[in-house]
């Protein structure tokens, strides 16, 4: 796990390049490396996880000396791939996954990318062809940002690193502004800045003479849900449960591979409890649990400590609790804004959990992120399909349509929220209903009027398709799972996980966000959708859980940000949208400094 910056076609001064690389020092505190050629610069800051020896530092040169790599991520099947290379009589010099990627590329070229299982973003320079190859994992867990200048391209692990070079303009993308104000995050491949784009997940590019000459998406995870939707509910109940048990156990075992101790963000929820159970059962190493709690949530339903303590005791996990006060937040907020690579209304919880992990000298920590998207954990997996069917029905009957339209307009008026009007007007698809559900602010509160809800929903929806024509989903829950993953998980949760954890030098692993797991579960997704709740889906694992655990209500990983951010003593009467808008303005303002 590392941070890197590479430049092609730009005449960098060595001191300026090293200054930009130093911006990534928190991502990789263990070592620094630079390799240069004619208008080619490659720099890396390493967080050592596999093969802690200096021989695995980056940039790394291939055995034949032709290829040079910088890499960020973790390849969970690298030991199997290493054996494959050894059988090809390739005498590897390290025990690292970095060298495995490099020598696979030297052997097989771009086709090798299909063999990699894990989270990754890497750039390989071919000194013979004078071209670069850059690739990103299918989920987009690890980022690559591309900065476009007049002279060439700069690729880096963070947006702010590209700005630090002074070669990339800071002009704001208005579309991204609208995206943030509506959803709380910026939608890829755009970033907050016009001249910086994210490499699309599951894609690779080839760069020559400082220009992108080829791009291909070699894996689009959206297609997996289309396949899942095509499977009929034929699977027997026992077979369904067994498939889930086998698939989840396999993904945990893969993610456990590490040459350093492993921690887990242990909350009161099902996902982290399940990971804790499987990790403890399958790991020979001691697992360290980390729980964050807040003074404002003490003895409330949002206090995570009770379930976390029970789970830690059950599995003999060394348990640590970090208590965060309003004063702590005031002191840390400037650091959080500095770490926030792009505007986001989330990530503070992960930032504090990562802070606790760093204080314990950990480098690798598990997170339960992705479980809700995969296993239908959100409440709207139930409500949106029902609402969609209801609205389709009443729109077919003229007098009901008129009554409903008036009713929703009235609700919008008395609640001062035009989303109720959206609910009737823009409810022609599951996607539109999801967008209304996830919308934070409304057009009346948004600075930029360049986009309306109607055309933004059309633009957003284009990203969800895995082909040129829309795929009709019979199962609305499967469609929602696809939407939640492609939009919310990818652009909010995974991106927040990256900047918030890497600021503290923490490699955050997400066992539920795994292509192999997704592929293994596609045949039972239809069957799972008919289950009552997430606990029913993972019922084979319930025997591992303590009987004292309480999963009655899903609360998510909450922070008392509203109470921290608003000084108004009567915070309960403070309008939610005003608080959110003020918070967003503060984040946007920080980006201008």
Q: What is the pLDDT of residue 407?
A: 86
Widest distance between CA atoms in the chain: 77
Contact in structure between 329 and 303 (CB atoms under 8 Å): no
Kindly write down the DSSP assignment for every residue of 173-194, as one continuous string: -HHHHHHHHHHSSPPTTB-SBT
Q: What pLDDT score was predicted for residue 448?
A: 47
pLDDT score at 444: 59
Residue 580: closest CA among 345, 336, 294: 345
Q: Which residues partner with 215 through β-bridges?
A: 205
Contact of 187 with 179, CB cutoff 8 Å:
yes
Calculate Rg over the CA atoms of the chain: 24
3-class DSSP state for residue 347? coil
Closest to 26 measured CA to CA, from 354, 307, 267: 354
199 near 355, Cβ under 8 Å?
Answer: no
Q: What pLDDT was estimated at residue 421?
A: 77
Look up residue 562 and give its two tokens.
Answer: 């509203």
Cβ partners under 8 Å of residue 471, min gap 6: 226, 229, 465
Q: What is the DSSP letter of 415?
A: T
User: Whole-angstrom Cα distance, residue 3 to residue 499?
Assistant: 11
SS3 of 92-145: CCCCCHHHHHHHHHHHHHHHHHHHCCEEEEEEEEECCCCEEEEEECCCCCCCCE
Collapsed DSSP state (helix, strand, coil) of residue 40: strand
Q: Given 3-state DSSP classes, what are the helix, strand and coil percentages for the chain, each rounded to the nearest 5?
A: 45, 15, 35
CB 165 within 8 A of CB 179: no
Q: Is 587 helix (H, G, I), strand (E, B) or coil?
A: helix
Distance (Å, whole) CA 96 – CA 184: 37
Residue the block writes with tokens 């990534």: 24
Which two structure tokens, joined as six digits, stand for 519? Answer: 């592929």
d(CA 332, CA 439): 28
**Segments in 283-440 forming alpha helices (H):** 305-315, 326-339, 348-359, 371-374, 380-394, 398-414, 419-425, 430-438
Place of tokens 């729980």: 291
CB 293 within 8 A of CB 324: yes
Residue whose entry in the numeric block shows the structure tokens 């400037």: 334
Nearest to 368 by CA among 511, 542, 559: 511
State how far the alpha carbon of 225 is from the alpha carbons of 275, 371, 482, in Å. 24, 15, 6
DSSP 283: -
Q: Which two tokens stand for residue 572?
A: 């309960």
Q: In what order do the strands lie in the sheet with 318-324?
A: 318-324, 287-294, 262-265, 364-366, 507-509
pLDDT value for 334: 93
> Tokens representing 93?
């010099």
d(CA 512, CA 270): 12
Q: Whole-angstrom distance between the N-terminal and C-terminal Cα of the chain? A: 29
Residue 591: what pLDDT? 84
Return all residues near 201 (Cβ < 8 A) that are at least 6 apart: 136, 137, 138, 139, 140, 188, 221, 490
**Distance, CA of 30 to CA of 1 (rounded, Å):** 10
Residues 6+ apart with CB under 8 A from 585: none
Domains contained in the chain, CATH given? 2-219 (3.60.20.10), 223-376+493-560 (3.40.50.620), 380-481 (no CATH)
pLDDT in tens, the chain (593 residues): 689 999 999 999 989 999 999 999 999 999 999 999 999 999 999 999 999 999 999 999 999 999 999 999 999 999 999 999 999 999 999 999 999 999 999 999 999 999 999 999 999 999 999 999 999 999 999 999 999 999 999 999 999 999 999 899 999 998 888 888 888 999 999 999 999 999 999 999 999 999 999 999 999 999 999 999 988 776 566 778 888 999 999 999 999 999 999 999 998 788 999 999 999 999 988 899 999 988 887 777 777 888 899 999 999 999 999 999 889 999 999 999 999 999 999 999 999 999 999 999 999 999 999 999 999 999 999 999 999 998 888 888 888 888 888 888 888 778 777 778 778 777 788 888 898 888 886 655 554 445 566 666 666 665 554 444 455 788 999 999 999 999 999 999 999 999 999 999 999 999 999 999 999 999 999 988 888 888 888 888 877 787 777 765 655 556 777 777 765 555 554 455 666 777 888 898 888 76
Cα-Cα-Cα-Cα dihedral sign, residues 379, 579, 588, 503: negative
From the list 374, 308, 365, 347, the residue with the least C-alpha distance to 512 is: 374
- Classify 532 as helix, strand or coil: coil
């Amino acid at each position: 796990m590392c941070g890197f910056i590479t430049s092609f076609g730009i005449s960098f001064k060595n001191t300026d390049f090293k200054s930009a690389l130093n911006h990534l020092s928190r991502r990789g505190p263990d070592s620094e490396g630079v390799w240069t050629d004619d208008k080619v610069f490659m720099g890396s800051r390493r967080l050592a996880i596999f093969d802690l020896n200096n021989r695995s530092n980056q940039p790394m040169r291939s055995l034949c000396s032709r290829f040079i790599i910088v890499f960020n991520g973790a390849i969970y099947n690298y030991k199997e791939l290493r054996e494959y290379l050894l059988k090809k009589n390739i005498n590897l010099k390290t025990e690292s996954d970095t060298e495995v990627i490099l020598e696979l590329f030297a052997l097989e070229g771009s086709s090798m990318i299909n063999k990699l299982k894990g989270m990754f973003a890497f750039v390989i320079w071919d000194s013979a062809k004078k071209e670069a190859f850059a690739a990103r994992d299918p989920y987009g867990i690890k980022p690559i940002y591309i900065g476009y200048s007049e002279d060439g391209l700069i690729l880096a692990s963070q947006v702010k690193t590209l700005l630090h070079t002074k070669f990339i303009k800071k002009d704001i993308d208005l579309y991204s502004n609208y995206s943030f104000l509506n959803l709380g995050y910026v939608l890829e491949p755009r970033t907050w800045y016009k001249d910086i784009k994210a490499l699309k997940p599951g894609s690779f590019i080839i760069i020559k003479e400082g220009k992108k000459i080829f791009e291909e998406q070699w894996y689009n995870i959206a297609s997996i849900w289309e396949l899942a939707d095509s499977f009929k509910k034929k699977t027997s109940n026992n077979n369904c449960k067994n498939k889930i048990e086998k698939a989840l156990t396999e993904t945990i075992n893969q993610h456990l591979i590490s040459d350093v101790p492993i921690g887990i963000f242990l909350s009161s929820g099902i996902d982290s409890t399940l990971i804790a159970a499987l990790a403890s059962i399958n790991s020979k190493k001691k697992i360290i649990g980390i729980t964050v709690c807040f003074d404002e949530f003490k003895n409330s339903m949002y206090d995570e400590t009770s379930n976390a303590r029970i789970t830690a005791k059950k599995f003999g996990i060394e348990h640590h609790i970090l208590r965060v006060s309003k004063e702590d937040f005031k002191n840390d907020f400037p650091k959080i804004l500095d770490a926030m690579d792009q505007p986001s209304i989330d990530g503070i919880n992960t930032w504090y959990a990562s802070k606790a992990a760093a204080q314990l000298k950990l480098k690798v920590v598990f997170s339960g992120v992705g479980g809700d998207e995969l296993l239908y954990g959100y409440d709207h997996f139930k409500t949106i399909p029902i609402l969609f069917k209801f609205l389709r029905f009443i729109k077919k009957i003229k007098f009901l349509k008129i009554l409903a339209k008036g009713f929703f307009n009235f609700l919008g008026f008395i609640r001062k929220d035009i989303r109720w009007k959206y609910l009737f007007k823009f409810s022609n698809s599951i996607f539109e209903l999801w967008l209304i559900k996830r919308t934070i602010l409304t057009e009346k509160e948004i600075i930029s009027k360049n986009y309306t809800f109607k055309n933004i929903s059309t633009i957003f929806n284009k990203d969800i398709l895995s082909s040129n024509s829309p795929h009709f989903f019979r199962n609305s829950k499967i469609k929602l799972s696809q939407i939640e993953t492609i939009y919310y998980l990818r652009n909010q949760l995974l991106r927040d996980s990256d900047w918030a954890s890497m600021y503290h030098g923490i490699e955050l692993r997400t066992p539920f966000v795994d292509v192999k797991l997704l592929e293994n579960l596609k045949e039972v997704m239809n069957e799972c959708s008919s289950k009552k709740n997430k606990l029913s889906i993972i019922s084979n694992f319930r025997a591992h859980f303590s009987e004292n655990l309480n999963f009655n209500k899903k609360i998510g990983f909450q922070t008392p940000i509203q109470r921290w951010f608003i000084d108004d003593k009567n915070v309960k009467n403070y309008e939610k949208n005003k608080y959110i808008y003020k918070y967003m303005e503060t984040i946007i303002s920080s980006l201008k400094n």
